[in-house]
Amino acid sequence: EEPQSAPAATSTAGQQVVQSPSGTAAGPTCTLTQFGGTKFDLKTATVGFSQSEKEANPFRIAETKSIKDEAAKLGITNLKVTNAQSQFSKQITDVQQLIAQGVRLLVIAPLNSDGWEPVLQQAAAKKIPIITVDRKINAKACSDYLTFIGSDFYEQGKRAADRMIDALASKGKVAILLGAPGNNVTTERTNGFKDRIKEKAPGITISFEQTGEFAREKGQQVTEQLIQSNPDINGIYAENDEMALGAVTALKGAGKEAGDIKIVSVDGTRSAVQGIADGWLHAVIESNPRFGPLAFETAQKFLDGQPIPDKVIISDRDYDTGNAKDSLGEAY
């Protein structure tokens, strides 16, 4: 059987778009001299990329692939990739060992925002610029690290809430399938969603929130329990697509029809966009993982002496019934 969700990151379709284009941003910026580094040639330098989770879900696969592809495209031959297998301690060690291997530029997809002290110290001592992608590091831009490229998870939660409010016409009962506990992404997507609901639609109650640990099977199991004990639920907010798709399987198994319960989720994987087309999902907020081009472009600009903003927020799309079919090719 053909895999139904092969990544399509090689095409330029679905390329990241910067929300606040570099240079024109109002926020603080950073130049090579401010940072205190020296110019070097990206092509011949050793570059390190530290991935946080296994390349096993579409997001991580697309992310790593995008970095590797872009490096290959630019002729960077010495790219070292490590994978922390979701263990934070390992990621710290990984990056330290990358530094020991003499990398001149670090691209990090952090597993966690806090706890980077030892790495930052070492990198700063050697003046190695760090670009963090998809999650932030809580530290000082331009001295501890160079810049952050990624989405705004809190904003994603808010936008998901907007979609849910639309779908339920501002009233009803909603369940949340939380991500893994303790994860920044979980926290921010939850807070954004809840804050927005409270602010805009007090008629919607959040009557259930349980973790599905970002996994499809767990999403299915929790949803099965949920619709047994809360048959009156109107909407499900899943903090990633996998859990949403698990919820869909559960609803199908329980004899529900597409659209009976409105599901909104975040990520924008191909299966989820297909789910919208099939009518099972209501909307998906995109979180774009293709960081390669933007990351290396930013690095090159920095090395060329141009000012770099302290954060580069990309603009994520929404998928809904209106655009799902046409956007299928751009989903990852």
Nearer to another protein, 53 or 320 (CB): 53
244-263 positions binding another protein, by CB under 8 A: 245-246, 249, 253-254
Closer residue to another protein (CB): 118 or 259: 118
Which residues in the 80-99 window bind another protein by CB under 8 A?
80-83, 85-90, 92-94, 96-99
- 144 contributes a contact to another protein by CB under 8 A: no
Q: Residue 277, interface with another protein (CB under 8 A)?
A: no
225 binds another protein (CB under 8 A): yes
Contact 96, 111 (CB under 8 A): no
Q: Residue type at 236?
A: I
Distance in Å, CB of 77 to another protein, minimum: 11
Site string for another protein, 2-21 (x = CB under 8 A): -xxx----------------
Any residues with CB less than 8 A from the CB of 80 and at least 6 apart, and which? 46, 47, 48, 49, 98, 101, 103
User: How far is the C-alpha of 77 from the C-alpha of 69, rounded, in Å?
Assistant: 11
Q: Footprint of another protein on residues 51-80 (CB under 8 A)?
A: 51, 53-58, 61, 79-80
Residue with tokens 């099965």: 224
Interatomic CA distance for residues 237 and 157, integer angstroms: 9
Q: Burial level of 328, CB count in 10 A (0-12/13-18/19+)?
A: middle
Q: How far is the CB of 211 from another protein (least distance, A)?
A: 6
190-219 residues near another protein, rule: CB under 8 A: 190, 207-211, 213, 215-218
Written as six digits, the tokens of 183 are: 């994860």
